[in-house]
């Protein structure tokens, strides 16, 4: 840390933590062996199915693979995370 | 009891061969009978790192194909009692050997009475890797704290576990203490967290390794070398002893240090 660093606008994060964050993300995809192509196909299919029941905001839709703590607490497991904003329900014939 | 250990990494150039040479040599210094096997057929290197390149008559492929007996191909290292090298063939390729043949070779070496058989695995995940892990009882994954090497290590760990080599352990090689302290390199905990495997040892980036390799004398025998000390610790852990991971804290440079440096130049 030198004297002039005090005057600099914003401290960039150190590259070590940047490397760690990038690696974590890339490994999540590597480990489940899921290409962005497959994810895109999945996304299209999910939109198709859900659209039968409700009107959704496809612009704000967010589908990704992340990691979460496993139930038995020994390490992490991949999860499919989907955030799908609903605009309105479709009228259904309920009988 | 004899044990076959494969040293692997996925990515090339992270120090598999250097690690193999140092662990083999370190174990032999402690009185173990060790066979170092260079499984990198076509890209033979363990012989030069060990300084035994002028003594090769037969190689691994000769043994597998029955051109010589196993004992004839094993080069005895005269500096360290109980240390032997089985060199790779240089004029053949990875397909010259099958996983079954490697398995048999490992069994034969066990019968010769070696305590440790250390396999130096080639880079990559193809035939050479499959051959090298075929006869192994346990695996050591070598990586450096760089994104490419850690990513490949993760892939290798997955492949090892898929091939029944459970619980591989990690050697973090060429750690630059100065960079870690400035936050410009992933530290031990970062790599451990990302790969989620146990760390067998951490080897600092050290010029003594380069010098040792130039001379063909593994750094593990150099008492003044930091990396040598790290390798000696790893060897003891391999033998089941509980040795703490070295701490590498460097005292920050004082004004006097800087002044001294200035006059040295």
Q: Retrieve residue B54's tokens.
A: 């002028």
Q: Cβ neighbours of residue B106 under 8 Å, at least 6 residues apart?
A: B4, B117, B119, B134, B135, B136
A19:B154 CB<8 A: no
Quick check: A87 contacting B, CB < 8 Å? Answer: no
Q: What is the distance in angstroms between the Cα of B78 and the nearest Cα belonging to chain A? A: 44
Total domains, chain B: 1
Return the pLDDT at A33.
Answer: 77
Return the pLDDT at B4.
Answer: 97
pLDDT at B265 over 60: no
Return the pLDDT at A8.
Answer: 57
Q: Is A25 within the bounds of a domain?
A: no
Q: Is A27 within the bounds of a domain?
A: no
CB B59 within 8 A of CB B67: no
The SS3 call for residue A22 is helix
Domain span holding position A40: 34-95
A16:B190 CB<8 A: yes
Residues 192-231 (B) with a CB less than 8 A from some CB of A? 193-194, 196
Return the pLDDT at B171.
Answer: 98
Q: Which of B155, B158, B194 is closest, CB to CB, to A23? A: B194
Q: Retrieve residue B68's tokens.
A: 């010589």
Quick check: B144 contacting A, CB < 8 Å? Answer: no
Q: What is the distance in angstroms between the Cα of B57 and the nearest Cα belonging to chain A? A: 43
DSSP string covering chain B, please? --EEEEEE-SSTTSSHHHHHHHHHHHHHHTT--EEEEE--TTS--HHHHHT-GGG-SS-HHHHHHTSS-HHHHPEE-TTSTTEEEEPPPSSS-GGGS-HHHHHHHHHHHHHTT-SEEEEEPPSSSSHHHHHHHHT-SEEEEEE-SSHHHHHHHHHHHHHHHHTT--S-EEEEEEE-HHHHHTT-S--HHHHHHHH-S-EEEEEE--HHHHHHHHHT--GGG-TT-HHHHHHHHHHHHHTT---PPPP-PPPPPPHHHHHHHHHH-
Strands A86-89 and A54-56: antiparallel
Q: Is A23 within the bounds of a domain?
A: no
What is the average pLDDT score of chain A?
A: 81
Considering only A79-88, B132-141, B197-206, B209-218, which range has the smallest mean pLDDT?
Answer: A79-88
pLDDT-derived band at A64 (thresholds 50, 70, 90) equals confident
CB B237 within 8 A of CB B200: yes
CA angle centred on B150, ends A80 and B134, rounded to 5°? 95
Return the pLDDT at B253.
Answer: 65
Quick check: A24 contacting B, CB < 8 Å? Answer: yes
Quick check: A16 contacting B, CB < 8 Å? Answer: yes
Considering only A41-55, B16-30, B45-59, B102-116, which range has the smallest mean pLDDT?
Answer: A41-55
What is the average pLDDT score of chain B?
A: 94
B151:A30 CB<8 A: yes
Q: Is A19 within the bounds of a domain?
A: no
Higher pLDDT, B145 or A2: B145
Q: Is A58 within the bounds of a domain?
A: yes
ipTM for this model: 0.81
Total domains, chain A: 1
Q: Mean pLDDT throughout B28-52?
A: 97
Q: Mean pLDDT throughout B45-61?
A: 96
Entry pTM: 0.83
CA distances from B237 to B25, B165, B205 (A): 15, 19, 20
Quick check: A69 contacting B, CB < 8 Å? Answer: no
Q: Nearest 5°: phi and psi at A78?
A: -75, 145
Q: Which of A15, A22, A30 is closest, CB to CB, to B155? A: A30
Q: Mean pLDDT throughout B167-192?
A: 96
pLDDT at A75 over 70: no
Set of chain B residues whose Cβ sits within 8 Å of the Cβ of A15: 183-185
Considering only B88-102, B171-185, B227-241, B250-264, which range has the smallest mean pLDDT?
Answer: B250-264
pLDDT at A2 over 70: no
pLDDT-derived band at B257 (thresholds 50, 70, 90) equals confident
Q: Mean pLDDT throughout A23-51?
A: 86
Domain span holding position B133: 3-264
Quick check: B256 contacting A, CB < 8 Å? Answer: no
Specify the CATH number for the domain of residue B88: 3.40.50.300
Quick check: A14 contacting B, CB < 8 Å? Answer: yes
pLDDT at A76 over 80: no
Q: Mean pLDDT throughout B244-248?
A: 82
């Amino acid at each position: 840390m030198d004297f002039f660093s005090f005057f600099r606008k914003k401290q960039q994060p150190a590259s070590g933590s940047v490397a760690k964050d990038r690696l974590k993300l890339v490994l999540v995809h590597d480990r489940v062996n899921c290409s962005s192509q497959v994810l895109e196909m999945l996304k299209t299919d999910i939109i198709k199915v859900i659209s039968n029941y409700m009107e959704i905001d496809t612009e704000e839709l967010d589908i990704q693979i992340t990691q979460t703590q496993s139930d038995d607490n020994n390490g992490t497991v991949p999860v499919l995370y989907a955030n799908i904003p609903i605009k309105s329900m479709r009228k259904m014939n309920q009988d | 009891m004899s044990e076959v250990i494969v040293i692997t990494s996925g990515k090339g150039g992270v120090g598999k061969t250097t690690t193999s040479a140092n662990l083999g040599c370190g174990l032999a210094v402690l009185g173990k009978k060790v066979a170092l096997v260079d499984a990198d057929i076509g890209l033979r290197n363990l012989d030069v790192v060990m300084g035994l390149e002028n003594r090769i008559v037969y190689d691994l492929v000769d043994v597998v194909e029955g051109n010589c007996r196993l004992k004839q191909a094993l080069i005895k290292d005269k500096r360290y009692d109980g240390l032997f090298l089985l060199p790779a063939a240089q004029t053949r390729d990875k397909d010259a050997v099958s996983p079954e043949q490697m398995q048999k070779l490992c069994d034969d070496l066990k019968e010769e009475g070696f305590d440790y058989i250390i396999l130096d695995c080639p880079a990559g995940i193809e035939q050479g890797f499959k051959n090298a892990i075929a006869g192994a009882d346990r695996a050591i994954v070598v990586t450096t704290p760089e994104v490419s090497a850690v990513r490949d290590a993760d892939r290798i760990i997955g492949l090892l576990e898929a091939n029944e080599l459970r619980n591989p352990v990690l050697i973090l090689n060429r750690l630059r203490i100065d960079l870690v302290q400035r936050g410009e390199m992933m530290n031990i905990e970062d790599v451990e967290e990302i790969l989620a495997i146990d760390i067998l040892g951490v080897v600092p980036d050290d010029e003594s390794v380069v010098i040792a390799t130039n001379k063909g004398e593994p750094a593990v025998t150099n008492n003044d070398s930091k990396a040598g000390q790290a390798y000696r610790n790893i060897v003891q852990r391999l033998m089941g002893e509980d040795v703490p991971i070295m701490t590498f804290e460097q005292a920050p440079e004082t004004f006097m240090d800087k002044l001294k440096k200035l006059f040295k130049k």
